[in-house]
Amino acid sequence: MPTLFTRIINGEIPGRFIWRDDRVVAFMTIAPIKPGHVLVVPISEIDHWIDAPNDLRNHLMDVAAQIGQAQMSAFHPARVGIIIAGLEVPHLHVHVIPIDTERDLNFANANGSATDGELEEAAGKLRAVLAGNPNVSGV
Protein backbone atom coordinates (compact mmCIF):
# COMPACT_ATOMS: atom_id res chain seq x y z
CA MET A 1 0.00 0.00 0.00
CA PRO A 2 1.47 3.40 -0.95
CA THR A 3 2.51 5.72 1.86
CA LEU A 4 0.76 9.02 2.51
CA PHE A 5 3.74 10.78 0.95
CA THR A 6 3.62 8.61 -2.18
CA ARG A 7 -0.04 9.53 -2.55
CA ILE A 8 0.87 13.23 -2.28
CA ILE A 9 3.75 12.81 -4.75
CA ASN A 10 1.40 11.03 -7.19
CA GLY A 11 -1.24 13.76 -6.89
CA GLU A 12 -3.85 11.56 -5.19
CA ILE A 13 -3.79 13.90 -2.19
CA PRO A 14 -3.16 17.64 -2.61
CA GLY A 15 0.23 19.03 -1.66
CA ARG A 16 1.86 22.45 -1.81
CA PHE A 17 5.03 21.63 -3.68
CA ILE A 18 8.14 23.77 -3.59
CA TRP A 19 10.54 21.45 -5.41
CA ARG A 20 10.36 18.45 -7.71
CA ASP A 21 13.15 16.69 -9.55
CA ASP A 22 13.60 13.11 -10.70
CA ARG A 23 14.59 11.88 -7.21
CA VAL A 24 13.00 14.07 -4.52
CA VAL A 25 10.16 16.47 -3.86
CA ALA A 26 9.70 19.18 -1.25
CA PHE A 27 6.32 20.32 -0.02
CA MET A 28 4.78 22.23 2.86
CA THR A 29 3.75 20.22 5.87
CA ILE A 30 0.10 20.65 6.87
CA ALA A 31 1.13 21.00 10.54
CA PRO A 32 4.07 23.41 10.51
CA ILE A 33 6.17 23.88 13.61
CA LYS A 34 7.04 27.34 12.27
CA PRO A 35 5.86 29.14 9.12
CA GLY A 36 7.86 27.85 6.16
CA HIS A 37 8.28 24.30 7.54
CA VAL A 38 8.97 22.04 4.53
CA LEU A 39 9.31 18.27 4.08
CA VAL A 40 11.95 16.98 1.65
CA VAL A 41 10.98 13.48 0.56
CA PRO A 42 12.50 10.97 -1.87
CA ILE A 43 10.13 9.79 -4.57
CA SER A 44 11.18 6.20 -3.82
CA GLU A 45 9.50 4.69 -0.79
CA ILE A 46 12.34 4.17 1.66
CA ASP A 47 11.27 3.73 5.27
CA HIS A 48 14.42 4.50 7.28
CA TRP A 49 17.00 7.13 6.36
CA ILE A 50 19.88 4.74 7.02
CA ASP A 51 18.51 2.44 4.30
CA ALA A 52 18.75 5.11 1.58
CA PRO A 53 21.63 4.79 -0.87
CA ASN A 54 24.42 7.28 -0.15
CA ASP A 55 23.86 9.25 -3.36
CA LEU A 56 20.15 9.67 -2.58
CA ARG A 57 20.86 10.75 1.02
CA ASN A 58 23.39 13.27 -0.29
CA HIS A 59 20.91 14.60 -2.85
CA LEU A 60 18.17 14.81 -0.22
CA MET A 61 20.46 16.89 2.00
CA ASP A 62 21.56 19.08 -0.94
CA VAL A 63 17.92 19.89 -1.68
CA ALA A 64 17.26 20.45 2.05
CA ALA A 65 20.16 22.92 2.10
CA GLN A 66 18.76 24.83 -0.87
CA ILE A 67 15.35 24.95 0.80
CA GLY A 68 17.05 26.08 4.03
CA GLN A 69 18.84 28.91 2.22
CA ALA A 70 15.51 29.99 0.75
CA GLN A 71 13.94 29.88 4.23
CA MET A 72 16.72 32.13 5.56
CA SER A 73 15.91 34.70 2.86
CA ALA A 74 12.13 34.40 3.06
CA PHE A 75 11.59 34.16 6.83
CA HIS A 76 14.80 35.57 8.39
CA PRO A 77 15.11 33.02 11.20
CA ALA A 78 18.19 32.77 13.43
CA ARG A 79 18.89 29.33 11.91
CA VAL A 80 17.33 26.56 9.87
CA GLY A 81 17.04 23.24 11.66
CA ILE A 82 16.34 19.77 10.35
CA ILE A 83 14.70 16.74 11.89
CA ILE A 84 14.75 13.20 10.55
CA ALA A 85 12.40 11.35 12.85
CA GLY A 86 10.51 9.01 10.54
CA LEU A 87 8.02 7.72 13.08
CA GLU A 88 4.80 9.26 11.82
CA VAL A 89 5.00 8.18 8.14
CA PRO A 90 7.08 5.15 7.05
CA HIS A 91 8.66 7.09 4.18
CA LEU A 92 11.98 8.88 4.62
CA HIS A 93 11.52 12.64 4.99
CA VAL A 94 13.55 15.55 6.25
CA HIS A 95 11.77 18.33 8.13
CA VAL A 96 13.44 21.64 7.20
CA ILE A 97 12.31 24.29 9.68
CA PRO A 98 13.13 27.98 10.12
CA ILE A 99 13.96 28.34 13.84
CA ASP A 100 14.90 31.02 16.33
CA THR A 101 15.59 28.78 19.32
CA GLU A 102 16.17 25.08 19.92
CA ARG A 103 12.69 24.95 21.48
CA ASP A 104 11.36 25.51 17.95
CA LEU A 105 12.46 21.96 17.07
CA ASN A 106 9.62 20.37 18.99
CA PHE A 107 6.67 18.63 17.33
CA ALA A 108 4.52 19.77 20.26
CA ASN A 109 4.69 23.21 18.62
CA ALA A 110 3.10 21.98 15.38
CA ASN A 111 0.19 24.09 14.20
CA GLY A 112 -2.38 21.53 13.10
CA SER A 113 -4.84 24.28 12.27
CA ALA A 114 -2.68 26.27 9.84
CA THR A 115 -5.00 27.61 7.14
CA ASP A 116 -4.68 26.96 3.43
CA GLY A 117 -3.92 30.66 3.03
CA GLU A 118 -1.08 30.56 5.58
CA LEU A 119 0.44 27.47 3.97
CA GLU A 120 0.16 28.91 0.46
CA GLU A 121 1.64 32.24 1.59
CA ALA A 122 4.69 30.45 3.03
CA ALA A 123 5.00 28.30 -0.10
CA GLY A 124 4.80 31.39 -2.30
CA LYS A 125 7.60 33.09 -0.38
CA LEU A 126 9.86 30.08 -0.84
CA ARG A 127 9.01 29.68 -4.53
CA ALA A 128 9.79 33.37 -5.08
CA VAL A 129 13.23 33.04 -3.50
CA LEU A 130 13.94 29.86 -5.49
CA ALA A 131 12.57 31.32 -8.76
CA GLY A 132 14.74 30.51 -11.74
CA ASN A 133 15.69 27.06 -10.50
CA PRO A 134 14.19 24.53 -12.95
CA ASN A 135 13.21 22.23 -10.06
CA VAL A 136 11.01 24.79 -8.32
CA SER A 137 7.47 23.52 -8.48
CA GLY A 138 4.04 24.94 -7.84
CA VAL A 139 2.34 21.62 -8.55
SS3 84: coil
CA distance 42 to 113: 26
Q: Are 24 and 59 in contact (CB under 8 A)?
A: yes
Q: From the candidates 59, 91, 93, 95, give the one annotated as an active-site residue.
A: 93
Question: Looking at the DSSP assignment, which residues form a beta bridge with residue 17?
Answer: 27
Using DSSP's 3-state secondary structure scheme, residue 97 falls into: strand
Identity of residue 126 = L
Residue 76: C-alpha distances to residues 34, 35, 69, 125 (Å)? 12, 11, 10, 12
Among left, alpha and beta (phi > 0; psi -120 to 50; other), residue 9 is alpha
- Let me know if 93 is a catalytic residue: yes
Active site residues: 93
